[in-house]
Amino acid sequence: MNIEELVDMAEWIHVDEEVDLGASSTRDERNAFWMRVVGCAYWGHPTYNPVPDPQWCVKDAGGGRPMSDDVAVSMPSRAAWDCIPGSGSDSYRFEAESIGILPADQHVYVPDKPAQDTPAWGALPPYPGDAAFDEIGAILWADYAEAGRVPDSQVGRWFGRTIYDYLAGMTLDASIEKHRAEWRTALGLD
């Protein structure tokens, strides 16, 4: 993710979550918003950023003061940008303005992990190999053929539900069994 993409994501979160960063907002609210944005970049997020990018960090305001409410730092270069010029006023905007390379004594740190809506990246089951997913496809296609139907847009639904439950902790076989019963009913086979 480059800085422009991070700023675009910040604006997307701002609009999507209806966050006010203007004159009626508090520094704590702006800091919480910015921590969430950079956290979504660093840790990843199922909606805003599915691929974590651990280069992105936040910084404090120096001298033991709280974090700066709209500065993103790319590590390890320590290049930094003010990403919401005018934050705290009603004329704020989303735009990356370079503030240069931060000095070595400037405290830079990993953002907090965003609230529960971020997946536990390390908790995903291991990739079972293409053969496992081919199996789902083969079973789906066979059931469609048995029903005398060509695969349609609902194939994505059935495949998605099967994979979702697998990623949520169900065994792949159990997930196939559960969702196959659903799609066979929808196809009029059971």
List the pLDDT tens digit at each of the 190 positions of the chain: 999 999 999 999 998 888 999 999 998 899 999 999 999 999 888 888 888 999 999 998 777 777 776 999 999 999 999 999 999 999 999 999 999 999 988 889 899 888 745 444 445 666 778 888 888 999 999 999 999 999 888 898 899 889 888 877 778 889 999 999 999 999 999 8
Cβ atoms within 10 Å, residue 75: 15
Q: pTM value?
A: 0.60
Residue 123: alpha-carbon gap to chain centroid: 15
pLDDT of residue 125: 65
CA distance 15 to 164: 27
CA atoms within 13 A on the CB side of 189: 16
Continuous segment of H or E residues that includes residue 59 = strand 56-59
Continuous segment of H or E residues that includes residue 101 = strand 97-101
Tell me the C-alpha to C-alpha distance, in Å, between residue 40 and each of 50, 82, 94: 9, 17, 17
pLDDT of residue 2: 95
Sequence ranges of the domains in the chain: 3-119, 125-186
Tell me the C-alpha to C-alpha distance, in Å, between residue 152 and each of 65, 90, 162, 165, 186: 57, 49, 16, 21, 12
Tell me which amino acid residue 180 is: R
CA distance 46 to 29: 23
pLDDT of residue 86: 92
